[in-house]
Amino acid sequence: MRSKRELAKHIWCKVQTSVNISEPLFRLPMAVVLLHRVFREIRKRYPFEIRGFQLEGARLTFYIKPDDGFMLPLIMQLLKQTFSLRFNIIVGRKGHVWGERYESEILDGEPPEDAEEVDWGRQTSRPTRR
């Protein structure tokens, strides 16, 4: 088991995770909208800033700066559980959606300049696909 690390407040982290489903999940517009909606709901509970939201095949990558460093595990737990539950209900399936634990990397400074800020006010904003 890895040792616990202490995250200072307002530190940027790069987070990566992937889905466990063989179908191209994030090619479904419904899945992308659902993911965005779940992030918005979690943000009401645990304030954070997010940039560079990218979908690369089955992999989700983004940069996040929680108001409190200890909130990252809670944010990720809520994201994965809420998205999985709702997605499975909508498409009528059972089982795991996420394929692995998430990976996080603490950044020394700001995210890369090409990492765009997510516009939470617009319902239609979508993450970039690669």
Domain count, the chain: 1
Asked if residues 7 and 106 have their Cβ atoms less than 8 Å apart, the reply is: yes
Mean pLDDT of 47-63: 87
User: Of residues 105 and 119, which shows the higher confidence score?
Assistant: 105
- What is the per-residue pLDDT for 125? 43
Whole-model pTM above 0.85?
no
Domain presence at residue 72:
yes
Residue 63 lies in a domain: yes
Which pLDDT value is given to residue 123?
Answer: 42
Q: What is the pLDDT of residue 52?
A: 86
The answer to whether residue 50 is domain-embedded is yes
Read off the CATH number of the domain in which 56 is found.
3.30.70.1290
- Domain of 79 in residue numbering reads as 13-107
Residue 123 lies in a domain: no
Q: What is the pLDDT of residue 4?
A: 62
Has residue 91 got a pLDDT over 70? yes
Residue 3 lies in a domain: no
| Residue 90 domain flag | yes
Q: Which residues pair with 60 in a beta bridge?
A: 17, 55
User: What is the DSSP track for 66-126?
Assistant: ESSGGGHHHHHHHHHHHHHHHHHHHHT--S--B-S--EEEE-SSSPPTT-PBP-TT-TT--
d(CA 130, CA 19): 16
Note whether residue 2 is domain-resident: no
Provide the pLDDT for residue 24. 73
State how far Cα 89 lies from the chain centre: 20
What per-residue confidence (pLDDT) applies to 119?
A: 65
User: Range with the lowest mean pLDDT among 3-17, 55-69, 116-130?
Assistant: 116-130
Structure-token pair, residue 9: 């407040």
